[in-house]
Structure 1
């Protein structure tokens, strides 16, 4: 499968990217003072969390596990030298609900991390990834 995106310079350090499904995103650098624009690196970090989150929710639904809420916190260390990239990434999986089945949740997260999340696999090629699971009732 091949994906194609079209990225066009908009102005200053801003670019419009059109995804294969037609959705349009504005990306760029906040160096020109626009604090509301997403940077490419931060979007990569968000993509990592979303990719894994989709896996986890899908697996837990198949296991008939009910959650009242779920979030993933992502923190990454950017190298000092150019080309700057994330060399260390920490992901926190936060589960909320009554009587959470920790064994099944652990299995779902582990399957995402080790088998299903393609973005995770890409990140592994350049970053050390640490994960933690948090349970909240």
Structure 2
């Protein structure tokens, strides 16, 4: 990846578009937002793949991320709490929790930062009737 100076931050060009990065939210995505998005995106993608391999059908997946930062240490990320909301019929909590554990073990982004940022996950199931 190549990054280029632009007014207020940096820009990178990717096959699917340009990405502006800046400490100023008016000029681009803030670096911590991109890191949190990478964690949630990787975790959600791996979770979905594992669900598909186990033939567990879901209708929807929503992930929210609650971030704690330390203002005394350059706003360092201290923790990221990922809350997974899974919707579908015939969902088994135990199977979903085990699948989430497998996803965590196989998410490269979580594995990269897990020793420096506390990552927690919670699961909410919304059962839909057939």
- TM-score normalised over the length of structure 1: 0.84
The residue that corresponds to 1:124 in the other structure is 114
The residue that corresponds to 2:19 in the other structure is 25
* Counterpart among 9, 19, 37 of residue 14 in structure 1: 9
Q: Offset of 1:85 from its aligned partner?
A: 1.3
Q: Offset of 1:74 from its aligned partner?
A: 0.8
Structure 2, unpaired ranges of 5+:
none
Structure 1 moving runs of 4+ over 3 Å: none
* Counterpart among 89, 98, 107 of residue 107 in structure 1: 98
- CA distance in structure 1 between the aligned counterparts of 2:18 and 2:115, rounded to whole angstroms: 28
- Secondary structure of 2:81's counterpart equals strand
Indicate the RMSD between aligned Cα atoms, in angstroms: 1.7
After superposition, give the CA deviation of every residue in 1:11-60 in whole Å (9 maximum; x if it has no partner): 1x2210234x56421111336xx2x7311111100100010111110010
Q: Offset of 1:77 from its aligned partner?
A: 0.7
Contact 1:65 1:101 in 2 (8 A): no
- CA distance in structure 2 between the aligned counterparts of 1:67 and 1:29, rounded to whole angstroms: 37
- Secondary structure of 1:6's counterpart equals coil
Contact 1:56 1:112 in 2 (8 A): yes
Task: Tell me, yes or no, if structure 1 residue 53 matches structure 2 residue 44.
Answer: yes
- TM-score normalised over the length of structure 2: 0.88
Structure 1, unpaired ranges of 5+:
none
